[in-house]
Amino acid sequence: MRVLISGASIAGPVLAYWLESYGFTVTVVERSPTLRKTGGHAVDLFKPAMDIAERMGLIDAVLAKRTGTERLGFRLEGSDRRHELNVGRLLSAVSDRHVEIMRDDLSEIFYDATRERVEYAFGDSIAALSEDDGGVDVSFEHAPERRFDLVIGADGLHSNVRRLVFGPESEFATWIGGYLAVISLPNYLGLRDRTEGITGVNRIAAVYSAAHLDDARAVFLLRTTQPLDYHYRDVARQKQLLREAFAGMGWEVPRLLSELDRTPAFYFDSITQLRMDTWSRGRVSLVGDAGYCPGPAVGGSTSLAVVGAYMLAGELAAAGGDHTRAFPAYEREIGEYVRRSRAFAMGAVKQLIPSSRRGLWAIVAVSRFVNHTPLWLSRALSKLSNSGVRLHDSVRLKAEERSKVVGHEIGDAVGVDRAIHLDHPNP
Ligand SMILES: Cc1cc2nc3c(=O)[nH]c(=O)nc-3n(C[C@H](O)[C@H](O)[C@H](O)COP(=O)(O)OP(=O)(O)OC[C@H]3O[C@@H](n4cnc5c(N)ncnc54)[C@H](O)[C@@H]3O)c2cc1C
């Protein structure tokens, strides 16, 4: 069976890996001319995504690229006093297995694991999809038309496949009150294993580097009561909005803002949540941010993307490539994780970017608690709490499928029957 995946970031290559290993023939089309390697940001992989990386034989490669930024130094706006949060300890309480890694490093690891067995077409994009009983005719912006059995959108929050099949983004996107921007800049503070930042009412600025990076990344988080007025391609306007929003903030912020004119990589987006009742239609489905982004930077969306890709491939293998069975099974399997991630992100955006001085002091109180409470106690409390912080570790992964889809034949029934649905939480 031939599967076309749109998007070669995280969800796309993970899905390609598993589909190919189950015997599907996979093509990945990526709009960017090469693998996107500039100015990435740090993302978190929690236990189920780490377990999947292990099943892919990639855990050592992932750990070798960990950022190592375990400590966060911060000051409250209007005060020079520095507080510290042991982020490593905080995240250890959230998940039994966690790593922070730059998004582009992670993407490259997944890409390298698939590039020899999967066809990658860079610098192109799907222009139109036309489905009939036997498959999907796909026309591209550049390459000639081709036919596939299935098409999967792994093309992120602003997914092209979703737009073509389900309709405009505005029908599914809910802005949850925040914006974020990331820039690359020289590591002029000499940061290595820590992040330094400043937090004020409705705005946070921070800068960090990773052990193996020559430069640094500055992150700006902003909360507003009304959506900002800009076009997503209008970078000049986005930079202007950022300057206005962070005007008058002390510490290193004026210097960070001055880098806006020089930065080789600038990222700006709203913290938007996608809410779709279903992310499959006919022979097309969505995976990762394209289908269920809980909100960049606040919802653990990278882990969700890795887990979603693993589950989708597993269900397609278990169903011998029959999408009419596999897509609903995939949606049932990932659905609870998606719903809980959305709920978590709604709370996280409020707590992460406080809207009052009291909220700022709550961050200081939490950091003192985390720093001084024994890890076993923090873990026990987070397991007991109802806040959903342990949502990642509550995900149960099925065992790898053993059935193979060979050519256009459906995998042997015995294989399919025996393969599925062994609950295998601790491989
Ligand atoms: C500042 C910041 C911080 C973040 N922090 C975290 C975090 O701490 N933890 C976390 O879990 N997540 C975090 N995220 C989110 C995380 O980066 C994404 O959620 C994750 O990478 C999801 O992967 P994806 O493959 O679904 O989508 P994406 O990574 O968005 O990839 C989509 C891919 O599709 C490609 N594409 C787009 N349009 C087309 C097209 N028309 N045709 C072909 N290809 C196309 C894009 O070029 C891209 O390669 C953060 C995001 C940001 C911006």
DSSP string, 144-172: PPEEESEEEE---TT-HHHHHHH--GGGT
Our answer on whether the CB atom of 301 is closer than 6 Å to any ligand 1 atom is: yes
- pLDDT score recorded for residue 335: 95
Q: Is 36 in the pocket of ligand 1 (CB under 6 A)?
A: yes
In a domain, 224, yes or no: no
* Ligand 1 pocket: which of 27, 28, 43 to mutate (most atoms within 8 A of CB): 43
Q: Is residue 367 part of a domain?
A: no
Res 193: pLDDT? 81
- What is the Cα–Cα distance from 350 to 332, expressed in whole angstroms? 29
Q: How far is the CA of 320 from the centre of ligand 1 (A)?
A: 29
DSSP letter at 394 equals G
| Rounded-to-5 percentages of helix, strand, coil across the chain | 40, 25, 35
Query: Which of 273, 263, 210 has its CA nearest to residue 239?
Result: 263
Backbone angles phi, psi at 55, to 5 degrees: -65, -25
Domain count, the chain: 1
Tens of pLDDT, residue by residue over 20-61, are 999 999 999 999 998 877 667 889 999 999 999 999 999 999
105 CB under 6 A from ligand 1? no
265-317 pLDDT, tens per residue? 899 999 999 999 999 999 999 999 999 999 988 879 999 999 999 999 999 99
> Which residue's entry shows tokens 């409390």?
381
pLDDT, tens only, 347-360: 888 888 999 999 89
For residue 272, the CA-to-ligand 1 centroid distance in Å is: 12
Residue 34: CATH number of its domain: 3.50.50.60
Residue to substitute in 41, 67, 110, 157 for testing ligand 1 pocket (most ligand atoms within 8 angstroms of CB)? 41
Average pLDDT of every residue of the chain: 89
Residue 56 CA to ligand 1 centre (angstroms) = 20
Q: Is the pLDDT of residue 427 over 60?
A: no
Atom of ligand 1 nearest to the CA of 304: 11
Which tokens belong to 260? Answer: 């806006």
Residue 125, domain member (yes or no): yes
Q: What is the DSSP string of 59-113?
A: HHHHHHTB----EEEEEETT----EEEEHHHHHHHH-SS-EEEEHHHHHHHHHHT
Residue 383 binned pLDDT confidence (cut-offs 50, 70, 90): low
Coil, strand or helix at 9: coil
Vertex 13: Cα angle to 19 and 324 (nearest 5): 40
Q: What are phi and psi of 22, to 5 degrees?
A: -90, 0
The stretch 163-186 carries a mean pLDDT of 95
> Residue 38: CA atoms inside 13 Å, Cβ hemisphere, count?
10
For residue 248, being part of any structural domain is answered with: no
Answer yes or no: is 197 within a domain. Answer: no
Q: Is the CB of 308 under 6 A from ligand 1?
A: no
- In this predicted model, which residue has the larger pLDDT, 377 or 268? 268
Instruction: Tell me whether residue 117 is in a domain.
Output: yes
Cβ–ligand 1 contact at 30 (below 6 Å)? yes
Answer whether residue 180 shows pLDDT above 60: yes
Q: Give distance in angstroms: CA of 36 to centre of ligand 1.
A: 10
The verdict on the CB of residue 267 being under 6 Å from ligand 1 is: yes
> What share of the chain in percent tops pLDDT 70?
89
Stretch among 67-76, 193-202, 298-307, 417-426 having the lowest mean pLDDT: 417-426
Within a domain: 61: yes
11 lines ligand 1 (CB under 6 A): yes
The residue range of the domain holding 24 is 2-68+97-172+275-355+384-419
Instruction: For a ligand 1 pocket test, name from 301, 338, 340 the mutation site with the most ligand atoms within 8 angstroms of its C-beta.
Output: 301
Q: Which atom of ligand 1 is the closest one to the Cα of 155?
A: 34
| Cβ neighbours, 10 Å, residue 242 | 22
Structure tokens at 237: 């306007």
Q: Per the domain annotation, does 236 fall within a domain?
A: no
pTM: 0.90
Which residue, by CA, sits nearest to atom 5 of ligand 1?
A: 297
pLDDT at residue number 422 = 29
pLDDT at 403 over 80: no
**CA of residue 375 to ligand 1 center, whole Å:** 31
Q: Is 390 helix (H, G, I), strand (E, B) or coil?
A: coil
CA atoms within 13 A on the CB side of 359: 16
Alpha-carbon gap, residue 211 to 114, rounded angstroms: 26
Minimum CA distance residue for ligand 1 atom 8: 43
What's the chain's length in residues? 427
pLDDT value of residue 420: 28
- Return all residues near 99 (Cβ < 8 A) that are at least 6 apart: 44, 45, 50, 62, 63, 66
